[in-house]
Structure 1
């Protein structure tokens, strides 16, 4: 789900369900080949023998009605060709008619099942897209005087939501953002994503201290781990807070990849304490609030946070995606352009994604 507020397009039939376009022309090809063979070898070719599979071939591209009509048309043509040769009631021709009739029955059933499957997959994709929009709400292009852009790609495209997460809340304390990565995959990871995002959206508006907000999320993940009986459950996360006109963003890093600051062709890594991931805070001794790091962020600079789906994307040789080098050669730090570039470039570099991918980029508006 790249940046922008646009609603998702109306779901179409999933790729790979419909047959390739050339399959739609196979019935015509079989018809032409049969007619040519009939004309070229009238004494050696059983009239209409190549027409028998046409209803089944039609079923791959068209509906049950087309399969029925093609069955009737094929049998009619076979009878006409046999009558022309004077073989209308010969036994082998009668068996051709029967075979065509069976082919038509199978083609009609196949077409009906294919359409039913397409509709079922479209419904499943619609549910996945609705879930994605409910859990991972679109990030606005502007929040206060911040320009914001976001990117999300689940490793399994049909799932819509994976184990990565992000959220933005424009609160009375400032604009607060969260980006994280849940340990594990599958439906359990999606459940944790929903729990963490729900807790963040509820607490971000009522908790004045960013460190306390991080502690609340830590307790949320710990409760989720207890409910699931998973002692190894944790979420690496970065929490950000920006107050309009401050020229800085406060950062708390809970075991996640360090943010980057982009300015033109310069890319710098933010140095901040690396706390334990959410859900493991109780292991720290002594237990203290998470350290908050203030990062200068004047207009023209962009803060970028991302999950390891970006930095650990690999090409065919197994080489990791050179994030800093690619961003440094981009020549711009505009959040929307940076995110759009990563959307294209990571896919071109690594091909098929093997891990979820999430990116947030924010920059103060000039003036």
Structure 2
């Protein structure tokens, strides 16, 4: 079998439920049963006229053609069995079945073509996501890292949330944020911000200066688009791998949460205006929050897709409260448990979601020992 034939076969059955693919055989079995049980009272071959259409929903044009020939043959055998092979209404049903076969073949071809186009679109979208949102590395500098990104629209892999982790001469720098708006404009803003962050993260000594550069970049984007309400909330983190010393700048975003043996607490930093709105304040930026990320502790950064998820009663997801009940502080396990917990409590999420978990390199404190 050629590669193209294999792809066609795979696409013809792609995302088709098994019960749909079983319907043609079920119809044949029911029809034959009816033929032998009630042949004196019903024209059991007539329902076989829909067989090619049923086949078209689960198989390719070749299978539709074979099912059409088989359906007409069975109809003829059933009609011959009771002496009605050439009666006018039977001749018309043979013709109707043949026409259904032609329409079914066209339907199957169109379905496979759309499936192929969808595969290509998804491939492009996944490549775009990997280009704009680089995969979270397992380690960066002195940190073990894990992340989760889920766009609100399942068919669009990128939304208005963003993250990036860069190793620089000043330590590991992390950006996590949320752009105002949705759709393609939000994706363009995300790409602009991430590109600017990656370009200057290793060239800017002070974290507040880095935030100001991103602020001005977003102001330029807003001017180019004539959108004076464009902004992004963001958290910027800098981690020194030698000492565990961290600096944190909060530009209108949720305070990160620090998990450790003593429980869960927020890492408060002086809250500044979101990126893109810095020009509204003449005050000098406050100094970044200063803390140490110690072994056995994990820092969790997240967007409001997590904190503003609602359960069926309308209550917000209590992030800190739920974190206290989840197992350990290993980044991968923590992110996976948090993802499962929020979807269990809140069901389908309606906003973009981004989560980063960071912990100092070394054995995970909750990892099972050999």
User: What TM-score range do you get, normalising by the shorter chain?
Assistant: over 0.9
Query: Counterpart in 2 of 1:41?
Result: 38
Does the C-alpha gap of structure 1 residues 47 and 275 become closer, same or farther in structure 2, counting only changes over 3 Å?
A: closer
Q: Would you say 1:312 and 2:308 are equivalent positions?
A: yes
Q: How many residues align?
A: 353
| Structure 1 pair 365–18 and aligned structure 2 pair: CA distance change class (3 A) | closer
Distance in 2, Cα, partners of 1:255 & 1:34: 67
* 1:235–1:270 Cα change, 3 Å: same
The question of 1:271 aligning with 2:268 is answered yes
Q: 1:126 aligns with which of 102, 119, 123?
A: 123
RMSD of aligned Cα (Å): 1.7
Q: Is the 8 A contact 2:65 2:101 kept in 1?
A: yes
Determine if the alignment matches structure 1 residue 343 to structure 2 residue 339. Answer: yes
Is 1:65 paired with 2:57?
Answer: no
Listed one character per residue, the Cα deviations across residues 101-129 of structure 1 (whole Å, up to 9, x for unaligned) are: 11111111111111111111111111111
**Map 1:141-220 → 2, pairs under 5 A:** 141-220=138-217
The separation in 1 between residues aligned to 2:204 and 2:345, in whole angstroms, is 41
Structure 2 counterpart of 1:96 = 93
Please give the secondary structure, in 1, of the residue aligned with 2:265. Answer: strand
**Which structure's relative contact order is higher, taking Cα pairs within 8 Å and 6+ residues apart?**
1
Alignment check: 8 A CA contact 1:196 1:221 kept: yes
> Deviation at 1:152?
0.7
Indicate how the Cα distance of structure 1 residues 265 and 17 shifts in structure 2: closer, same or farther if over 3 A, else same.
farther
Q: Does 1:246 align with 2:243?
A: yes
Contact 1:264/1:328 (<8 A) preserved: no
Whether the 8 Å CA contact 1:180–1:307 is kept in 2: the answer is yes
Q: Distance in 2 between matches of 1:101 and 1:366?
A: 69
Cα deviation for residue 42 of structure 1 reads 2.4
Q: Secondary structure at the match of 1:175?
A: strand
On the 8 A contact 1:165/1:180 being kept in 2, the answer is yes
How far apart are 1:164 and its partner, in Å? 0.2
Contact conserved, 1:215 with 1:289, CA < 8 A, in 2?
no
Q: Deviations over 1:56-81 (max 9, x none)?
A: 00001100000011001111121122
Cα contact 2:335–2:355 (8 A) shared by 1: yes
The answer to whether the Cα contact below 8 Å between 1:176 and 1:204 also exists between their aligned partners in 2 is yes
Matched, 1:75 2:72: yes
2-side partners of 1:295 and 1:205: how far apart? 21
SS of 2:155's equivalent in the other structure is: helix
**CA contact under 8 A between 1:18 and 1:61: conserved in structure 2?**
no
The two structures have a TM-score, normalised by structure 1, of 0.93
Preserved CA contact (<8 Å) 2:56 2:105: yes
Q: CA deviation at 1:270?
A: 1.1
Q: What is the CA-CA distance between 1:366 and the residue it aligns to?
A: 4.1
Q: Hey, which bits of structure 1, 4+ residues long, moved more than 4 A?
A: none
- How far apart, CA to CA, are the structure 2 residues paired with 1:108 and 1:331? 54
SS in 2 for 1:251: strand
Determine which of 232, 237, 253 is the counterpart of 2:234.
Answer: 237
| Residue matched to 2:354 | 358
Alpha-carbon distance between aligned partners in 2 of 1:186 and 1:102, rounded to the nearest angstrom: 43
Give, in angstroms, the shift of residue 19 of structure 1.
Answer: 3.4
Separation in 1, partners of 2:261, 2:61: 59
More displaced, 229-238 or 338-347? 338-347
Cα–Cα, structure 1 residues 280 and 181, in superposed 2: closer, same or farther, change >3 Å? same
User: Which of residues 114, 117, 120 is equivalent to 1:117?
Assistant: 114
In the alignment, structure 1 segments of 5+ residues that lack a partner are 1-12
